Amino acid sequence: MEAELIIMFMVAATTSAYFLWFHQLSRRLTGPKVYPFFGSLPILFLNRARIHDWIAGNLRSCSINGGSGTYQTTTIAIPYFARKQGFYTVTCNPKNIEHILRTRFDNYPKGPTWQTAFHDLLGQGIFNSDGETWLIQRKTAALEFTTRTLRQAMARWVSRTIKTRLWLILEKASQEQFPVDLQDLLLRLTFDNICGLTFGKDPETLSTELSENPFATAFDSATEATLQRLLYPGFLWRLKKLFGIGAEMRLRKSLQVVENYMSEALTARKLNPSDDLLSRFIKKRDVDGNIFPNHLGADTSSVALSWFFWLIMNNPLIETKIINELTSVLEETRGSDPNTWISDPLIFDEADKLVYLKAALAETLRLYPSVPEDFKYVINDDILPDGTKVPAGSTVTYSIYSVGRMKSVWGEDCLEFKPERWLSETGAKFVPPKDGYKFVAFNAGPRTCLGKDLAYLQMKSVVSAVLLRYRLSLVPGHKVEQKMSLTLFMKNGLKDFKYVINDDILPDGTKVPAGSTVTYSIYSVGRMKSVWGEDCLEFKPERWLSETGDKFVPPKDGYKFVAFNAGPRTCLGKDLAYLQMKSVVSAVLLRYRLSLVPGHKVEQKMSLTLFMKNGLKVYLHPRDLTSA
């Protein structure tokens, strides 16, 4: 009897102590409601289909009445774990993002959670490594993104793929009036281009038959299965891996296909060295004499283009401005005959002159960044610029998606699609934000995307290839929404994050504990009025232009736009990405007007990149340039 009373007393005391602790914890947290033991997981699970908008909504609520656009929550409401593995600091404050990506870069690596989950797929490649390994691979990869290699990539891969394959498929669809999934075509095109640039080998997934490619299918499947590891406790996916069940079984089979393809490419390059990226890595060996693992990273140009074409179909006046710029540039370089404008895809110099188109693409990435959120692990305790304390061992998330939707960042019109916000007063120059960290679609700081310029070039080429020939329309009944994936496909893109090495305090005053994870929501940054103004939700390319409209003007605060990352990890391929996007856009818009298939729903896919869940199904209508 006494033993039972003692047990009952201990249970009651433990329960009381726990709920007293939980009450104090929930009072300190500023984010969504937390529940005993499960923290904010239940409400996160309920909002998983709209995760980016949910995060943006939470951050907007935190920025009301002078808030900084930062909140903290936990997914494990258990003592010790609540301030470590399960503790999340979520922010869309550009000053915090700059602090994470540049000022205290070494304190916010990818961290063990990310590296362990993605090791089977990405190994110790540039997308998954930290420290000296990452730095060496970064320097090697940077050699592949010079102006000379960008010109070569345009001619050898982008232009050739557009002319010999993309146009054939679009022309057939236009003549026979059957709908095409534009996102699927763009994914295939950019996948082929990236493989060519990386391995010197074109898998030809974009073909008139549009048949499945084993490598592309396996890589996509492996990526999706790997993503699921981030959604479950580590012990659970390790247990599934041990017994080879569920997603882990699919991952094992898919990785075998990927490894076989990589092995063939590696053998070919050893026998016949070239100037592609793989050949450069073969020459770089670690201390054990092993070649650095080099797995293909997720390409984001196709995702950005899918959202761009959807926005264009909903903003015909902006489409007209893009067409006018394209025809003006091509008339200058090719003469007054419209037939010469659509005879060949853009060359490097033509794509480079498309200022308004670049502004429209940047505006697309502001509202729909390919990587909506990024995560960082906190090594040491820190304090963010807004005063938030971040404990070591926790996670910091910066929401790139939310930044673009914050009025405090982009102004009252932040939700408008407004390319003019990227132009000079005359409209002649592209003017990025003065605060470079209010736009980090290509990351920022040391990890800025190496392929940024290639992405812009490719996107410009594709847009011109399509819009100069066709007018697009959405397929009736097609729903456009986000998809759960590594990128913001059209259902619920997922995230990238940083591990906290040491306790730190972010610029907004948030304390981040060592060992936690910091998630920065790139998606949210673009939707914050405090960052982009009242029109932050508008698609407004003009916000990227100088007053005259002749220059592209990026934000002065470079960390309000980190679509290409920022700081030391700024994407090396940023310029290549822009060139590629310009090429694709011009290749499409000079030929076609696009319209959504009626009923097609456009929504996001849950992924690390902002894919469209159902693809982008459109009709192509031949464009008459003589009346443009």
Q: pLDDT tens-digit profile of 214-245?
A: 877 888 788 778 877 876 667 788 888 888 88
The whole-number pLDDT of residue 581 equals 85
Say whether both 250 and 358 belong to one domain.
yes
Q: What is the sign of the dihedral through the CA atoms of 139, 142, 147 and 152?
A: positive
**Residue 23 corresponds to which tokens in the numbers above?**
């009450």
Q: Comparing C-alpha atoms, which of 600, 387, 346 is closest to residue 478?
A: 600
Annotation: binding site for heme: 449
Residues 490, 496, 498, CA angle at the centre, nearest 5°? 165
Say if CB 89 and CB 70 are below 8 A apart.
yes
Please check whether residues 315 and 433 belong to one and the same domain: yes
The DSSP symbol for 581 reads B
Within 177-233, residue ranges assigned H as helices are: 182-199, 214-231
On whether both 1 and 137 belong to a single domain, the answer is no
pLDDT computed for residue 49 by the predictor = 74
pLDDT for residue 294:
37
Write down the pLDDT at residue 281: 56
Blockwise average pLDDT, block size 10, the chain, 628 residues: 76 82 85 87 81 89 78 85 81 95 92 82 56 61 65 79 92 85 87 79 83 80 79 78 89 88 72 61 45 42 89 93 95 93 92 96 94 89 94 92 93 95 94 91 84 86 91 77 63 40 79 75 85 89 89 85 79 78 84 84 74 83 76
- The helix (H) or strand (E) run that includes residue 22 is helix 2-28
Q: What is the dihedral of CA 400, 402, 405, 407, to 10 degrees?
A: -110
Q: Give yes or no: residues 460 and 315 share one domain.
A: yes
At residue 495, the pLDDT reads 30
The CA distance from 4 to 528, in Å, is 57
Rounded to 5°, the CA angle 29-41-92 comes to: 55
Do 283 and 393 sit in the same domain of this protein?
Answer: yes
Domain CATH code at residue 307 = 1.10.630.10
Domain of residue 475: give its range. 31-627
**Positions at the binding site:** 449
Bridge partners (DSSP) of residue 52 are: none
Residue 319's pLDDT is what? 94
Using DSSP, how many helices (H) and how many strands (E) does the chain show? 24, 24
Specify whether 439 is located in the same domain as 502. Answer: yes
318 and 367 part of one domain? yes
| pTM score of the predicted model | 0.71
Same domain, 403 and 316: yes
On whether both 452 and 372 belong to a single domain, the answer is yes
Residue 308 sits in the same domain as residue 187? yes
What pLDDT was estimated at residue 23? 84
Cα–Cα distance measured from residue 507 to residue 68, given in angstroms and rounded to the nearest whole number: 10
Q: Are residues 56 and 16 in the same domain?
A: no
Task: State the total domains in the chain.
Answer: 2
**20 and 100 share one domain:** no
Dihedrals phi, psi of 181, to nearest 5 degrees: -90, 100
Q: Are 395 and 500 in contact (CB under 8 A)?
A: yes
Contacts of 436 (CB under 8 A, 6+ apart): 98, 444, 554, 555, 556, 557, 558, 559, 560, 561, 566
pLDDT value, residue 493: 25
Which tokens hold the place of 494?
Answer: 């997922």
Question: Can you give the pLDDT at residue 174?
Answer: 86
